[in-house]
Amino acid sequence: MKLALVQINPVIGDFTQNIKRITECLDAARRNGCDLAVFPELAVSGYPPQDYLEHEAFLKRQDEALLSLKKESSGIGLLCGAITRHTGATGKPLHNSALLFENGKLIFSTHKRLLPTYDVFDESRYFEASSSNLVCAYKGLNLGITICEDIFNDEDSFPHPLYQANPVADLKQAGMDLLINIAASPYNMGKQQIRLSIFSDLCRKYQTPLLYINQVGGQDSVLFDGASLVLDKNGALCMQARSFQEDMLIVDTEKLRPDATIKENNETALVHQALAMGCRDYIKKCGFSKVLLGLSGGIDSALTCAIACEALGPENVMGVALPSPYTSNESIEDAGSLAQNLGIRFEIMPISDTFASFRTSLSPLFTGLAEDVTEQNIQARIRGTLLMAMANKFNALLLSTGNKSEMAVGYCTLYGDMCGALSVLSDVPKQLVYDLSRYVNRHVEIIPVRTIEKPPSAELAPDQKDQDDLPPYEVLDPILQAYLEEHLAIDAIVDMGFDRNIVEDTVRRIKRNEYKRQQAAMGLKVTSKAFGFGRRYPIAQRFME
């Protein structure tokens, strides 16, 4: 059989445009002589629709879109993910389904069996799980059609499976010749190699080729990487679609051959692509085209700016330096050099007079009290207010520039540098910020070398440096990874060789600043556990490991 595996970037609820894109790709598959075109999980509505699944108007629009799509299946099979109604007497009202159309008729349907409820997933909130799988006899092959999580539960890959059912094993027992998985599987660092390893093991175990079709695009904080795969029955990689871009693979099941020329993707490059795509999709899917941000002369704002230019083009990015009495001349110069290298609009708006006015207003109450973090936060909040005003006036979205290391320990100012519609780096640890900045400069200097090499500083007090208040980032970042992503207790992290006092202080800061993060701008997820959508902790609590 000849198939087209089509990874598309749908917009949730834009049924007209989603159907138009599916139809365009279906026409291309037909021109390539394909028997079947396969699209990702919930391709009609976009994934994840979340509580729109509780709106009857949303469901009716999807049903209407499906009717129009069914008519487009003349002369070719169309397999895609969609929402269907659960007709049983009990259970959730909907299914997450895969539907196969041909010549205007629905000839096969199946429903997702394994509904994830961890991290960013919450599918059992809306969907009823299928109790069984059936193979689909089509064009001389028995197709085992699965949906995303359905192939992530084999006991050989997962020593403690999350679910009792193993859909792949059941389909093989039912006579499956070809395993197809339509997915909306989010990206995080290392995920592509993890998928490939799991899929290779499945193919070898069941001696069955696998076609994996993944959604691509940014959906709020969640980033889908595409990178659809074709593996032969021995688990060898035969084809791989592009990462973070729409793509189509044309596959002949009679001619599956391992392709040794496919190289493992560089992870730093993948993170850069992920952040640029996430920034672009969030801005554009929300109906905007322009962004602005504060340029401090530091590495975080420089990297954020470079990514924004990659995503939207320099003509749609504005940088503003807002120097205070403690801002060095070098920082203003570095911000200007970055703006010139990128070709963006750049403005300088000093805040010293505004800061002085605040101090004068507060002096009757603050007389006799020493200056402390209060005065530092005032500067950050002045900047946040001015940047938000410019964003309003210019119909642009403000980008927040803080990184994950800062966000974790609260080294940021609520209603100050945390202001913004999108936090591009909030899931990027500081050491990765440096790696990404060097990647941006791989061909030509864009981020000034001095920005990368100088000690990081908020410049909110005389001679201030981050490491006056924080451990070195090469110490802090692995502690944060161990605690936030690996869920290790304090004793276990100390056993890794870290100083107990530093570990305990870091964990204390993480807990104390939960309230800040729950008010922060949405961030783009690139690690296995990001702040926001997939991380849920109480603010009022007294637990200490």
CATH topology of domain 2-263: Nitrilase/N-carbamoyl-D-aminoacid amidohydrolase (3.60.110)
pLDDT, one tens digit per residue, over 65-95 is 999 999 999 999 999 999 999 998 999 999 9
Query: DSSP states of 61-114 as a string?
Result: HHHHHHHHHHTT-TTSEEEEEEEEE--SSSS-SEEEEEEEEETTEEEEEEE---
Residue range(s) in the chain whose domain bears CATH number 3.60.110.10: 2-263
Q: What percent of the chain clears pLDDT 70, i.e. is strictly above it?
A: 100
41 is catalytic: yes
* Residue tagged active-site, from 41, 128, 310, 459: 41
pLDDT of amino acid 159? 85
* Residue tagged active-site, from 148, 279, 309, 412: 148
> How far, in Å, CA of 79 to CA of 455, rounded?
54
Query: DSSP states of 432-482 as a string?
Result: HHHHHHHHHTSSS--S-HHHHHSPP---SSTT--GGGTS--HHHHHHHHII
Q: Please tell me the number of Cα atoms within 13 Å of 406 on its side-chain side.
A: 25
pLDDT of amino acid 457? 81
Q: Are 298 and 325 in contact (CB under 8 A)?
A: no
Q: Are 276 and 250 in contact (CB under 8 A)?
A: no
- pLDDT surpasses 90 at 451: yes
pLDDT of amino acid 97? 98
Q: Tell me what the mean pLDDT of segment 440-467 comes to.
A: 89
pLDDT, one tens digit per residue, over 204-224 is 999 999 999 999 999 999 999
CB atoms < 10 A from the CB of 287, how many? 8
* Residue tagged active-site, from 112, 285, 290, 430: 112
* pTM exceeds cut of 0.85: yes
pLDDT of amino acid 468? 77
Q: Are 438 and 452 in contact (CB under 8 A)?
A: yes
Q: Tell me what the mean pLDDT of segment 249-263 comes to.
A: 95
- pLDDT surpasses 90 at 63: yes
pLDDT, one tens digit per residue, over 397-433 is 999 999 999 999 999 999 999 999 999 999 999 999 9
In three-state secondary structure terms, 408 is: helix
- pLDDT surpasses 80 at 466: no
pLDDT of amino acid 231? 98
pLDDT of amino acid 544? 79
Query: 327 falls in which pLDDT band (50, 70, 90)?
Result: very high
Q: Which tokens go with 90?
A: 């009990």
pLDDT, one tens digit per residue, over 171-198 is 999 999 999 999 999 999 999 999 999 9
Helix (H) or strand (E) holding 272: helix 267-285
pLDDT of amino acid 337? 98
User: Which amino acid makes up residue 37?
Assistant: A
Q: What is the mean pLDDT of the chain?
A: 96
148 is catalytic: yes
20 is catalytic: no
Q: Are 335 and 296 in contact (CB under 8 A)?
A: yes
Q: Please tell me the number of Cα atoms within 13 Å of 338 on its side-chain side.
A: 39
pLDDT of amino acid 199? 97
Pairing of strands 105-111, 136-138: unpaired
Residue range(s) in the chain whose domain bears CATH number 3.40.50.620: 272-470+514-523
Helix (H) or strand (E) holding 240: strand 237-240
E strands, 103-197, where? 105-111, 136-138, 141-147, 178-183
For 272-470+514-523, which CATH superfamily applies? HUPs (3.40.50.620)
Pairing of strands 178-183, 141-147: parallel
DSSP structural state of residue 243:
B
E strands, 112-209, where? 136-138, 141-147, 178-183
- pLDDT surpasses 80 at 459: no
119-123, 255-259, 364-368, 533-537: which has the minimum mean pLDDT?
533-537
Region of 104 (left: φ > 0; alpha: ψ -120 to 50; beta: rest) is left
Spatial strand order of the sheet with 210-214 comes to 136-138, 141-147, 178-183, 210-214, 229-231, 237-240
